[in-house]
Amino acid sequence: MAAKHYSQSVSAHYTSGNLGARILAGLRAAGKDPDALALDDLTPVDQFHLGGKPATLELIQRAGLESGMHVLDVGGGLGGPARVIADHADCTVTVLDLSEEFCQVGAMLTERVGMSDRVIFQHGSALDMPFADGEFDAVWAQHSTMNIAEKEQLYREIHRVLRPRGRLAMHENMAGPVQPIHFPVPWARDPAISFLRSSEGTRKLLAATGFREIEWADERETIIAVLRRQASLMALNGPPPLGIQLLIGTQFPEMIGNVARSLQEDRLTIIQGVFERN
């Protein structure tokens, strides 16, 4: 698929239009004041990955992010994880994302929680990063590489923008031994923009690119339990006014059901990994 057409399909998948206004309306419906927002008011809508904020906090801990570091959040979406990193680890974070609407809305939400001096947004592709060599102390990739076919180029770019001994922190979906996964899923309505690699293939590729593995944790069972709890809550209360369906549409419950089914059938797994650049 030609690179331009491919990136247009991916950003079209994540673009719904009028997202900022819909999130502000969702916040009001959830009883929040959009003019006096706390960071955690945004959590139901700005953590676009399995496991929510607890998974983000766990990866911060695993990656050893520290005060004063400059972190690149590749495919950082609305910047939810980036704001948590800035807040909890006292880092500055640059979010790079292919979807222009996510960058614009992310910057608006960041301003509303008073963090624009610590979290900035840059529209662009992870395959051709607009950054200098060695610019970052750490690179963060949380559910952001599933749409990228060219993983060799992605990891080369991550290696290039990291300083020597800088860290790569990943929380990602991997292909399980049984294929294919069930569609639609939150990152793709059909296989055309979904490119998962196996855990072993990914670890080998990262080693060949110049990364030393520090930690690799299989999160499959944890996420299955989280999804079970979420499904029972949803069955009881219906979808909340502020949730990921605002980002991805009314198919979200079906998408998340397919993720749960694919995890249970060994078609999909979720990992957290930490690597050091050689």
Ligand X SMILES: C[S@@+](CC[C@H](N)C(=O)[O-])C[C@H]1O[C@@H](n2cnc3c(N)ncnc32)[C@H](O)[C@@H]1O
Binding residues vs ligand X (CB under 6 A): 10, 14, 47-49, 75-77, 80-81, 96-99, 102, 125-127, 142-144, 147-148, 186-187
Minimum distance of ligand X from residue 16's CB (angstroms) = 12
Q: Find the residue with minimal CB distance to ligand X.
A: 77
Minimum distance of ligand X from residue 12's CB (angstroms) = 10
User: Cα separation of 212 and 30, whole Å?
Assistant: 44
Minimum distance of ligand X from residue 144's CB (angstroms) = 4
92/153 with CB nearer ligand X: 153
Minimum distance of ligand X from residue 261's CB (angstroms) = 18
195/236 with CB nearer ligand X: 195
9/198 with CB nearer ligand X: 9
Minimum distance of ligand X from residue 76's CB (angstroms) = 5
24/82 with CB nearer ligand X: 82
User: Cα separation of 25 and 34, whole Å?
Assistant: 9
Decide the pairing of beta strands 268-277 and 211-218: antiparallel
116, two tokens: 């624009």
19/33 with CB nearer ligand X: 19
Minimum distance of ligand X from residue 236's CB (angstroms) = 25
48/136 with CB nearer ligand X: 48
